[in-house]
Amino acid sequence: MEAINMRICVLAACLLMASQASGYTMSDLCKQWSGIGFIGNPSNCRAWGYCKNQEVVSWGTCDGDLVFNAQTGSCASPNTTACSTSAVKTCASVKSPMYVANPLNCTEYGYCDGTGQISYGDCGTGAVFSASSRSCVWGPACPQDSICRFMLSNIYVGDPNQCGNYINCVNGYGTSAKCSSTANPYYNRVTGLCQSTNPCTGEGSNSGNSDQFTVGQPSSTACAKTAFDASPELTVNGESVTYRYVSDGSTCYGYYYCADADATGYWNQCPTGTQFNVKAGKCVSPASFVCTYNRCGNVNNPFMAVKGCTSYTICSSGLTGNCPTASPFYDEVNNICTTTKPEYEICG
């Protein structure tokens, strides 16, 4: 493979970044699997966990310098088993030249020279590295960016990024899919089976509708008099109107159109990038108010600030992250960590 922009990795820096490479925890992995067995530890390729009833019930580390092979559920020699969390650790152990994936950047690959050293190459614009074929392939999806990296091979798990979908994990890889049955279109990660009703109670992704609701879906209770009266009166072109908008009570971006108190409500969602402000009765910037539900819904942002803006939610996994001490505040509008606390409502 011809390498572009080859460079030698500074060991300490690469190990530090590798510890932050995955957004999953072992608890996240177990929640998506209805089965019983071993999983890899996303923060340490020598460590493992054991899932039962969708919880981590035990954990440990392989003996000596052995690496945990999540696909077989066993410890193995680092000479033959890649470290799933660090290309540096893999290259430090292998005794023959080989190409490996860079967990920190899917457009790059690492080249192990067989003597413990690693150098990096870039696949170029529009391409990503596939660890299974050990070659660059057309993107944009990253083959390694999957929960299957840490799961046994030949099992089904829920898709953490799309509730109601499943992933068939095979040799560390898998693609999100919907159940093929028209009668049972939803995958239930708890039972491991497809079913007719949607098991999701919140957003499965941060883009658009989670399929918990459909536009125009009616509700006989959403416009109850108490909810209707609590919603603000609306004006259109300076004129008062009799209808009101009521929050769906489950998402940050969904609301019901209520023609009157106790009328049938019809669900709708805010335009992408906005969320429904209950007090204002309209769709606004998410940063301008504090929504108590999943703020990642309908925004297409990789991160969303937690109230106070001293931490943020990683939308792909639901985990919480923190900015560095030198720039302790997260600005979700500009997607940066900053020294000055932003003056958004969510930061108040």
Q: What is the pLDDT of residues 127-138, one digit of tens each?
A: 888 877 788 887
CA–CA dist 308, 232 (Å, integer): 26
Find all residues with CB under 8 Å of 269, minimum gap 6, and list them: 208, 209, 213, 215, 251, 253, 254, 255, 298
Q: For residue 213, what pLDDT band results from cuts at 50, 70 and 90?
A: low
The predicted structure's pLDDT at residue 12: 30
**Domain residue ranges in the chain:** 7-147, 218-285, 303-347
pLDDT of residue 344 exceeding 50: yes
The predicted structure's pLDDT at residue 15: 31
- Is 101 strand, coil or helix? strand
User: Where is pLDDT greater, at 87 or 192?
Assistant: 192
Q: For residue 228, what pLDDT band results from cuts at 50, 70 and 90?
A: very high
Q: For residue 139, what pLDDT band results from cuts at 50, 70 and 90?
A: low
CA distances, 200 to each of 159, 194, 204, 272 (Å): 12, 13, 8, 20
In the block, residue with structure tokens 């239930």: 188
User: Where is pLDDT greater, at 51 or 24?
Assistant: 51
The predicted structure's pLDDT at residue 58: 93
CA–CA dist 58, 50 (Å, integer): 5
Per-range mean pLDDT, top range of 92-96, 127-131, 269-273, 291-295:
291-295
The predicted structure's pLDDT at residue 141: 65
Q: For residue 11, what pLDDT band results from cuts at 50, 70 and 90?
A: very low
In 3D space, the residue among 303, 238, 244 whose CA is nearest the CA of residue 278 turns out to be 244
What are the pLDDT digits (tens) for 71-116?
A: 999 999 988 888 877 888 888 888 889 888 887 777 888 899 989 8
Rounded to an integer, what is the distance from CA 181 to the centroid of its chain? Answer: 26
The predicted structure's pLDDT at residue 334: 81
Question: Which whole number is the average pLDDT over 292-306?
Answer: 84
What are the pLDDT digits (tens) for 195-211?
A: 888 777 444 444 444 55
pTM exceeds 0.75 for this model = no
Rounded to an integer, what is the distance from CA 284 to the centroid of its chain? Answer: 24
